Amino acid sequence: MKKERLFTPGPTMVPEDVLLEMAQPMQHHRTAWYRQMHEELHGLLQYLFQTKATCLTFTGSGSAAAEAAIVGCCPPGHKALVVVNGKFAERWEKVCATWSIDHTALPIDWGHGAKVADIQKAMDADPKIDTVIVVHSETSTTALSDVEGIAKLTRDRGAILIVDGITAVGAIPVKMDDWGVDAYITGSQKALMLPPGLAFVAVSDRAWERIESGKMPTLYNDLKAYKKSLGTWDAPYTPAVTLVRGTLHVLRGVKERTLEGIWKETSLLAKATRAAAEAMGMKVYATDVVDSVTALLVPEGVDEGALRKTIRAKHGFQIAGGQGDLKGKIVRLSHMGYVDAFDTIGAIAALELTLAEQGYDKIGLGVAAAQRVFAEDLK
């Protein structure tokens, strides 16, 4: 027997009860059943984003929803600052370029998160900037941005803040209203432990003013249509009904476990993984580490491709490699969703076994260090 365990930072493992919830007989979406589900889902999404704002459900990937939010919030006459610190941040800059949105890119070193001082400097230098786009948890580099601090700055300056929260929301602290974020985006296949296919955008009143001032030159991705349909708890276009049903099921569980509880659990898994890495002599890649995903530098002399291939083929663990310049240099392990201490200990054990095959023998060291972290937490 070889069990498969997904440790990739999305898609993540989907709980068995969620898979079966989504395997229930098909239901139509123009029904009281869907409207009731949508209304309850909306309340739970507000809890997830910690907001009283409107929360929109898109059928599409996180990129579709992020594109809709960026284009909606940046009609002509506005200027965006995009902090570029990884593959996903690069994509949002590409959205601005594709749509001819007036924008400036602020490149920062990979592995670092967006910081208040850099953004403040860029805004001081160019007073036309009235929109800031940052990635909360840059999945490609596992770097954490200071969204709370940046939101304070953008509120003080009357600017709109758009945050890609795709591997942040539901995994690490996200407090949209307390912080003052204007558009927060996430996807179904990360901390929400669902298959890919849905994306969610929470939109503040300030962002709606901006969005409603401009004409959105697209039909399917026009946020206004989604907002309008919320009035009757409908969807403007046929939604991915089974995934919506699964999301409701997951979010009921999230509320029961509480976000604070989940943030703490995720953080503990990340802490244990980092402790294991240190004990194994492996370096954590990111400078500003996030708790939803951990990137580890592959030790000298170890072949990253062979490592990932073997750990999957022999032990059933799927871990991610690096993207772009980081290809071949790092491996990434997710701490999001349906993953617990013993899955994580298993992943570390499998990593040790696989590294040992390549002559890098630290068997037992990482596992013990991770166990110590969990033991400490039990006290």
CA-nearest of 169, 161, 135, 113 to 287 is 113
Interface of this chain with a second copy, residues 76 to 135, rule: CB under 8 A:
91, 94-95, 98-100
Interface of this chain with a second copy, residues 267 to 326, rule: CB under 8 A:
318
Task: Number of residues interacting with a second copy: please give it, by CB under 8 A.
Answer: 53
Please select the residue that binds a second copy; options are 217, 281, 324, 328, rule is CB under 8 A. Answer: 217
104 beta partners: 81
Give yes or no for residue 219 binding a second copy (CB under 8 A). yes
Please select the residue that binds a second copy; options are 29, 227, 329, 372, rule is CB under 8 A. Answer: 29
CA 181 to each of CA 49, 110, 133, 174, 228: distance values in angstroms, whole numbers, following the listed order: 10, 23, 11, 10, 22
Q: Which is nearer to a second copy, 123 or 191 (CB)?
A: 191
CB neighbours of residue 97 within 10 Å: 12
Give yes or no for residue 345 binding a second copy (CB under 8 A). no
The Cα 313–Cα 303 span in angstroms is: 15
Please select the residue that binds a second copy; options are 85, 137, 189, 294, rule is CB under 8 A. Answer: 189
The Cα 49–Cα 174 span in angstroms is: 6
Interface of this chain with a second copy, residues 37 to 66, rule: CB under 8 A:
59-64
Length of the chain: 379
Please select the residue that binds a second copy; options are 36, 213, 232, 238, rule is CB under 8 A. Answer: 238
Least distance CB 379 / a second copy (angstroms): 34
- What 8-state DSSP symbol labels residue 318? E
Please select the residue that binds a second copy; options are 117, 205, 220, 287, rule is CB under 8 A. Answer: 220
CA 98 to each of CA 77, 92, 162, 183: distance values in angstroms, whole numbers, following the listed order: 16, 10, 18, 20
Binding site for a second copy (CB under 8 A): 4, 6, 8, 10-14, 19-20, 22-31, 59-64, 67, 91, 94-95, 98-100, 187, 189, 195-197, 216-222, 237-243, 318
